[in-house]
Structures are given as structure tokens and as C-alpha cells.
Amino acid sequence: MAGTADKVTEVFDFDREIDRRGTDSAKWDRYAGRDILPMWVADTDFAVHPAIPDAIRQRAGHPVFGYTQIPPRLIDLLVARMRERYAWEIEPDWLVFLPGIVGALHLACRAVGRAGDPVLLPAVVYQPFAKAPGFADRVNQPLPMTTRDGRLLIDFDALERLAPRPGQLLLFCNPHNPGGAVYREAELARLAEFAERRDLVVCSDEIHCDLLLEPGLRHIPIASLDADIARRSITLMAPSKTFNLAGLGCAFAIVPDADLRRRMKTNPYIVPHVNIMGLAAATAAYQFADDWNRQQCAYLAANRDYLVAEINRIPGLRLDPIEATYLAWIDVSALGLDDPPRFFEDAGVGLSPGREFGDTDFMRLNFGCPRSRVEEAARRIRAAIEALD
């Protein structure tokens, strides 16, 4: 424990190695029985804040697990969080609770536009973005991306050359996955002005909003800019990445417009309600775990700094700065590999293939783990690439 006489702050141990084998972990079981470090899917290997399992144990102590409603305390916490962090005044009834962000992307594609419509989405982005339009009888219209000062962003000049039909959907991701760019206020304002001028609805995935690593940056929900963009927006957030709760299935959309919100409401016969334990965990996380996350972000920033330095010392690799998330987007194109995922697995490091995100020249590495594993991954990658010579 450390702190002042007035306030004691618990110090959390992110160096702790936790054995997740045998827990039905999707991340770890992929490589069961093989000497491959699992650094692919986006969950972390950190122990959660102790208030979270305490809340789950308390709820599990009651012997009935029937249908449940959203805890009023959770609603109050989220309304206050938007006000305190973003000066964004939201109404409680704007909140639509969902079991996950991926399902919310699919719901948004069904809620906006009509069959056959294009859905605008970044050309390089988290893979469920590209799958959602097709399942809603829509078609993908990829938005060109550009790298500016090491930041992977939507190419706003290319965006202006598009002529979407009024009423279409634009899927957005901020902070961006992959690449970790945090959009600045001027960039968000430009996107909002485009959406307003073209009469588009913006569905903004902001699940990584609490994982900013670069000092001085701040997350700005695009819907918080003004009333016009708010009324044409669906903002998606969740405690899952921030507090390592992905397996508990709890997320929410903030939808100010009543008609759009009605269309985003889930059909209980298709999309289930958030489960009891997910709600208990989310409430505890938002109430008690922000200091835990501040320490996590500091730890992740140190991992990021180490990894950027090490990867850029390895011939044939390039890693641009990472402003947010715990996901490194590594350019492997100079290696000329026939099968990059297999190469890195043979090296003993399991990464996410760039092709899943829209760019075969890259691999994504999850550094949300103890530093010792990041160091070992860098060592294995260097050894494998040096052996190519």
C-alpha cells in the first residue's frame, strides 16, 4: 500500500504471471501443448480489481438467478462518467445495454438505411466491422486510410470524394483498432461536419476510450461535439477492454435520438439481455476500478515504449507510435514472408494476422501482459528474423 495520510492508494501488481491454462481461455487454449506465446486476441493477462470478483461473489451468494433489470447504480455511474470525463450531458434513457460491441455493430447495420445500401467503414479496422454489413443485406464501402505522422487514420480528403446517399451508416472506430490512433477534436469535427452535410448516421466504436497511453491526449466522443452530430450518432462503449471483463458480456450504446434508439433496441428473441454477473462486474468496475486502470495504463505505456524501441531495432520490421490500446500494429512487409502468421508461430509468438483487419503487410501483437512476456516475445521474434539470413 502507498499513499498520503489522507488517501491511501493500493498498488496493483501487473508483473504477476497468472496461469490461464485449463480455464477454457480462448487466448491460451489456441496454442495448448505448444511453446507459443499467445499475444493475439484482445484481452489482457492482468488480474482484475478485487472489487469485481467481490461483487460477483456477493451476487452469486443469492440462490436465485432469474431475469434481471439494469441496476440503477450502473446507470447513475455512466451518466456521471460522461459528464465528468467528457463534459457530455446524457440522459439515462439514452443508454441501450447490450451483451457486446460486436452485436451492436450488427444491430446498427440493421437499424440504419435499407437493404442494398452501402455502409461506409474504415478499410483497415477490427474485423467484425467488415462482416456486419453483409449480414444485414448491406454492402461494404471501405473508406481509404492514410498514415499521418505515424497515425493510421481515415483519409479525409478521399472521404470528401465519396457521395453517399442520405441516411446511410458510417462505422467509425476511436481510438482506432488496429494502430491505436486517438482522433483529435479537429479531426472529429471534420468527420462530424461531413456526416451532417451528407445526412449520415455515425456508429462510433469507442471501446478503447479508457486505454490512452500518451500523456496529454484525451478521448472525445464524437457525439459530444454538438447536438446535430449527437442526434445522428450511436456511441458504443464497454468495460470489457478497460477492466479486462470481456468474458462477462456487458456493453452499452448511447443513442440520443429516440427513433434511432428504438431501432437499436434489442429483440430479446435474437439478442439476449446482459447477464446478471456482467452487470454486477460492470457496476463494481465503474465504481471502484478507475485507479486500477490508471496504473494499468502506466504499465501498458511502459510496455509500449519497450516494444516500439525493440521492434524498430529488428531489421525488416516497423512499429509506429501507439497512442492508445494495448495492440501493436507491426509492419512486416519488408520481410517478404509467404505466410507471416505461420512464420511468427514457428518463432513461438502467436499474433493476429493483418489480413483479418484489411492489410496483409501487418501483424497485430497484444502487449497487455507482464513485461517478461513482452521481452520474451521480442527476443523470439529477433532470433527468428536473424535466422532468415
241 & 357 share domain? no
**Helix residue ranges per DSSP H, the chain:** 26-29, 51-60, 72-86, 101-111, 128-135, 156-160, 185-198, 227-231, 240-243, 258-264, 276-288, 290-311, 340-346, 371-388
DSSP string, 285-336: HHHH-HHHHHHHHHHHHHHHHHHHHHHTTSTT-EE----BSSEEEEE-GGG-
Q: What does the block give as the cell for 22?
A: 485449463
β-strands 37-38, 349-350 pairing: parallel
- In angstroms, the Cα distances linking 42 to 247, 325, 364 are 11, 9, 10
Q: For the beta carbon of residue 282, count every other beta carbon within 10 angstroms.
A: 29
240 & 115 share domain? yes
pLDDT tens for 92-139 read: 999 999 999 999 999 999 999 999 999 999 999 999 999 999 999 999
DSSP string, 55-89: HHHHHHTSS--------HHHHHHHHHHHHHHH---
Looking at residue 1, its amino acid is M
114 & 248 share domain? yes
| pLDDT value for 266 | 61
231 & 355 share domain? no
| pLDDT value for 316 | 97
Cα-based torsion angle of the residue sequence 356, 26, 335, 322 in order, rounded to the nearest 10 degrees: 80
| pLDDT value for 8 | 59
Q: Yes or no: say if 127 and 327 are a contact pair by the CB < 8 Å rule.
A: no
β-strands 201-205, 233-237 pairing: parallel
pLDDT tens for 181-199 read: 999 999 999 999 999 999 9
CATH code of the domain covering residue 354 = 3.90.1150.10
CATH code of the domain covering residue 92 = 3.40.640.10
Upper half-sphere CA count for residue 188 (Cβ side, 13 Å): 23
| pLDDT value for 3 | 43
**Which residue shows C-alpha cell 502487449?**
367
142 & 272 share domain? yes
**Kindly report the CA angle at 241 between 376 and 367, in degrees rounded to 5?**
15
Domain contains 214:
yes
d(CA 187, CA 386): 40
214 & 200 share domain? yes
Q: Yes or no: say if 90 and 79 are a contact pair by the CB < 8 Å rule.
A: yes
Number of domains forming the structure of the chain: 2
Q: Which residues pair with 328 in a beta bridge?
A: 365
Q: Which residues pair with 96 in a beta bridge?
A: 253
Q: What does the block give as the cell for 24?
A: 477454457
Domain contains 55:
no
Upper half-sphere CA count for residue 18 (Cβ side, 13 Å): 15
pTM score, whole prediction:
0.96
302 & 357 share domain? yes
| pLDDT value for 104 | 95
Domain contains 259:
yes
d(CA 239, CA 210): 9
Domain that holds residue 107: 63-288
117 & 184 share domain? yes
Longest CA pairwise span in the chain (Å): 63
Q: What stretches in the chain show pLDDT beneath 50?
A: 1-6
Phi, psi of 352 (to 5 degrees): -90, 130
d(CA 380, CA 229): 47
Q: What does the block give as the cell for 89?
A: 450531458
| pLDDT value for 4 | 42
Determine if the peptide bond prior to 268 is cis (ω within 30°).
Answer: no
Phi, psi of 41 (to 5 degrees): -60, 155
135 & 221 share domain? yes
281 & 297 share domain? no
106 & 238 share domain? yes
Looking at residue 256, its amino acid is P
Per-residue burial over 341-379, b = 16 or more CB atoms within 10 Å of its CB, e = otherwise: bebbbebbbbbbbbebbbbeebbbbbbbbbeebbeebbe
Cα-based torsion angle of the residue sequence 320, 327, 240, 170 in order, rounded to the nearest 10 degrees: 60
Q: What does the block give as the cell for 315?
A: 531489421
